[in-house]
Amino acid sequence: GNLGSLENHKSDPIIVVCKTGQTAQESANLLVKAGFEKVSLLKNGLIAWNEANLPLVRGKK
């Protein structure tokens, strides 16, 4: 994959998120293999976040 401008942030914390967590896990693994040091993912994705009634803002600011 093309990491583009993310290459400049290998030591910064990165949180990977997707709808269910599966794609995020794959992406997080690729980031770690590419040398990113602080990669986290939202377990079970946005669906679980929403089901837990945690705050979620939709749209652009």
**pLDDT score of 60:** 77
Query: Whole-model pTM?
Result: 0.77
How many angstroms separate the CA atoms of 61 and 30, rounded? 29
Query: Can you give the pLDDT at residue 53?
Result: 96
Q: Give whole-number Cα distances, 7 to 11, 20, 23, in Å.
A: 9, 26, 20
Chain segment 9-41, per-residue pLDDT in tens:
999 999 999 999 889 999 999 999 999 999 999
Q: Where are the domains of the chain?
A: 12-51
Query: 6 pLDDT band (50/70/90 cuts)?
Result: confident
